[in-house]
Chains A and B, each alone.
Chain A
Amino acid sequence: MLSIRNIVKQYASHRALDDVSLEIEKGKIFGLLGPNGAGKTSLIRIINQITAPDAGEVYFNGEKLNPDHINKIGYLPEERGLYKKMKIGEQMLYLAQLKGMSKNDAVSRIKYWFEKMEIQSWWDKKVEDLSKGMQQKVQFVATVVHGPELLILDEPFSGFDPVNAEMIKDEILELNKKGATIIFSTHRMESVEQLCDNIALINKSHKILDGRLKDIRNSYRSNTYKVEYTGEPVTIDQPEFETISASAHEELQTLTIKLNNGKSVNDLLSSLMPKVTIHQVNEVIPTINDIFIQRVSEKGAVTL
């Protein structure tokens, strides 16, 4: 639904985005990942038409991005903000109308969301009278009230306590099920890892990796297994079973081994079983964070 093609964004002496291309499929959850200052916010601002790229194009549902698309996007910026002295109900109404809703539609949608978030009684309260967490809920409503096709959430879970974060996560997933496409942007990669269908890694203005999360992780599997056991520490020194690391925690010994030459887990186990008592065997699948670090270090230094 969103096609980002060869975007370049230049600020005076700093190039925020350098030839970045992305495809975001309809109905998917997309993770835009990268450290602070990588260029995520610049890209999001371009999608939101807050700024325009110096080169490259963005297509929304096949059409070149234009002001009509603004009403179909819901944006939760990293830096949350509301008018402090304005009543919450009026404020929601104002923001919804700015997104092109009629007054009546806006009122009924706001009521619907306020009920869902259990904040009906807040209509006449002012933002300055609410706690940080409460403001976050209101802000979330402001983002989704106009029923956007595309939701862009910048650091969505920061500022929420665990209970509310879970609640927001459920709401996002429900919206996704109903057809909304979601873009998560975050530098805390572990926080969205389980949610995303597709991801893109951005570092220092460049896209360094993108694709289906599963495919990426599979491609970074290295046939490495972690074995936990008790008994005398063992060392295996054969080309087929390459020891990556070995450690001990009280009784429990841990051995991380890479299988080479087509050896299987069974082969590993049968060579170990006579010597020790095995408690657990896991495949070591790299996290996005690991992949990111690996990927970046391949290309040179990175400051996280």
Chain B
Amino acid sequence: MNKILLIIQREYMSRVRKKSFLVMTFLVPGLIIGMYGLIAYLTITGGDKLANVKVLDESGVFAGKFKNTKSVLFSDIKGNVAEEKKKVAGEDEGFLLYIPTNIQTGGKTEMYSKKKAGIYVLSNIEDQMNEIMRTKQLHDAGIDLATLDKIKPDFTIDSKEITAEGEKDSSSGAAYGVGFAAAILIYIALFIYGSQVMRGVIEEKTNRIVEVVISSVKPFQLMMGKIIGIGLVGLTQFLLWIILSTTLTSVASSAFSRPDPAPIVKTQHQTGSQKKMADAQKSASDGPGAAFMKAMDTIDFKYILALFLTYFLGGFMLYSALFAAVGSAVDNETETQQFMLPITLPLLFTYIMAFSFIVNNPDSTLSFWLSIIPFTSPIAMMVRIPFGVPGWEIALSVALLIGGFILTTWIASRIYRVGILMYGKKTSYKELVKWFSYKE
């Protein structure tokens, strides 16, 4: 068997068989699904326990107009504020809502309870009060609410891109999100897998196994084997994440899109904000995820995924060669600091630019150049892609990326072959240049 294949195999297997790899593989999609589920759960249930709210309304505007929800029950009472306060102090789930007579002229509504009231309860009450007051004020002004609702305009803009295949739905919100997610993933992945390469090199160097290995293979083969092996580990990890998340998400979303519609119907006319939500849901015709899904449908995931993997691999090869060179130049991980800056700087710069500039100006000249230059393109291009990038730009960018990693690999391998045999002295940049210029 070819020796470089043996090295790739060892690098790959020794990492994939680690427990931490399995944990990461299942933990990350699990966390994503868990968060998805938690949010869905909280949205549906409100997350609070049942709260009994006694309404002591001295103004007479609100009495009898509060509507019960799943988690908040209202009851009107009459009496003295001070006495009721004492009573409520003895109840665990009791709340006293006190509305003074002068509520319409700047009086403050107060809520008393033994425990602090939850945000959900408070906002529910506030929404209801606003709605009741609004209705009353409209009524007082002689405006019929039903008429008002009818004349309320509700525009949404469907954004359409004009492409060769004709018009297609696009969603800049979703494009935003997908671009961000891909850029963040690439940024993190470059660091995670790049530093794995570096640590692998340092490990071999400090273990002194490296001299045994390079008496059998060329240093270049060892370095490339390591880079490719770890790159494949990253690829495997991503593919497993994608497969696991899509399976789990489709399972989860089919579970969540068939909930008992009753709670939605019950709550939809109770508060202003919920009413709006319910309207939006009605317009999206089915389930809370549908609008989101519709937006996501406008994005070509296969295309983005293919480019994501291309840029991940390209960027990884480019940077991990540099990581390998750094690893070869030091004796332990603490010494890597001085050489890390030139590697982290372009990545960090692009990362910041991606969020502050590129995403707002995806077609500007600066964005164009950032997505063409190999050191910045893996992150910058991912942000731009969902907004639509001409094919020639992608081709140029990928070609330069390939050229870029051939260049960095060449430079790195010249430093690497000397560095792995150097022990004990602290290396300077000057020395790296010297190593680079050594013949064979």
- Chain A residues within 8 Å of B, Cβ to Cβ: 11-12, 45, 48-52, 54, 67, 70-71, 73, 75, 77, 79-86, 94-95, 97-100, 139, 142
Contact = CB atoms under 8 A, between A and B. Distances in A.
21 contacts: A50-B211, A51-B421, A54-B439, A71-B216, A73-B215, A75-B212, A75-B215, A77-B211, A77-B212, A79-B208, A80-B208, A81-B209, A82-B212, A84-B203, A84-B207, A86-B14, A95-B212, A95-B216, A98-B3, A98-B7, A99-B216
Interface string B1-30: 101001100100010000000000000000
B213 A98 contact: yes
A79 B211 contact: yes
Given A12-B438, A79-B423, A82-B207, 12 more contacts: A45-B421, A54-B439, A77-B215, A79-B211, A81-B209, A81-B212, A82-B209, A83-B203, A85-B14, A94-B6, A97-B1, A98-B213
Nearest to A86: B14
A52 B439 contact: yes
A95 B216 CA distance: 8
B67 interface: no
Contacts of A94: 6, 10
A139 B210 CA distance: 13
Contacts of B211: 50, 75, 77, 79, 81
Nearest to B9: A94
Contacts of A77: 208, 211-212, 215
Nearest to B437: A12
Given A50-B421, A86-B14, A97-B1, A81 B208 contact: yes
Nearest to B420: A50
Contacts of B207: 81-84
Nearest to B435: A12
A82 B1 CA distance: 22
Choose among B10, B211, B423, B434 the residue with the greatest number of A CB atoms under 10 Å from its CB.
B211
B206 to A, nearest CB: 8
Nearest to B209: A81
User: A-B pairs with the 3 shortest C-beta distances?
Assistant: A81-B208, A52-B440, A98-B216
Contact of A98 (B6, B210, B421, B434): B6
A79 B1 CA distance: 28
Given A81-B207, A81-B211, A98 B439 contact: no
Nearest to B434: A12
B217 interface: yes
Contacts of B216: 70-71, 95, 98-99
B40 interface: no
B432 to A, nearest CB: 12
Contacts of A12: 434, 438
Nearest to A97: B6
Contacts of A75: 211-212, 215
Given A50-B421, A51-B440, A83-B207, A70 B215 contact: yes
A11 to B, nearest CB: 8
B258 to A, nearest CB: 48
B353 interface: no
A281 B378 CA distance: 83
B214 interface: yes
Interface of B: 1, 3, 6-7, 10, 14, 203-204, 207-219, 421, 423, 434, 438-440
A83 B218 CA distance: 18
Contacts of B3: 98, 100
A142 B212 contact: yes
Q: Which of A50, A67, A99 has the most CB of B within 10 A?
A: A50
Q: Which of A11, A73, A77, A142 has the most CB of B within 10 A?
A: A77
Nearest to A143: B212
Contacts of B6: 94, 97-98
A147 to B, nearest CB: 14
B216 to A, nearest CB: 4
Nearest to B211: A77
A228 to B, nearest CB: 47
Contacts of B203: 83-84
Contacts of A49: 215
B238 to A, nearest CB: 25
Contacts of B215: 48-50, 70, 73, 75, 77
A79 B424 CA distance: 13
Contacts of A100: 3
A110 to B, nearest CB: 15
Contact of A81 (B10, B210, B434): B210
A48 B3 CA distance: 16
Contacts of A86: 14
A280 B212 CA distance: 50
A83 B3 CA distance: 18
Nearest to B207: A81
Contacts of A52: 439-440
A98 B434 CA distance: 30
Contacts of A50: 211, 214-215, 219, 421
A142 B213 CA distance: 11
Nearest to B14: A86
Contacts of B439: 52, 54
A123 to B, nearest CB: 17
**From B203, B212, B439, residue with most partner A Cβ within 10 Å:** B212
Contact of A83 (B209, B421, B423): B209
A90 to B, nearest CB: 8
A69 to B, nearest CB: 11
A94 B208 CA distance: 16
A128 to B, nearest CB: 10
A285 B209 CA distance: 41
A97 B216 CA distance: 9
A45 B421 CA distance: 10
A9 to B, nearest CB: 10
Contacts of B421: 45, 50-51
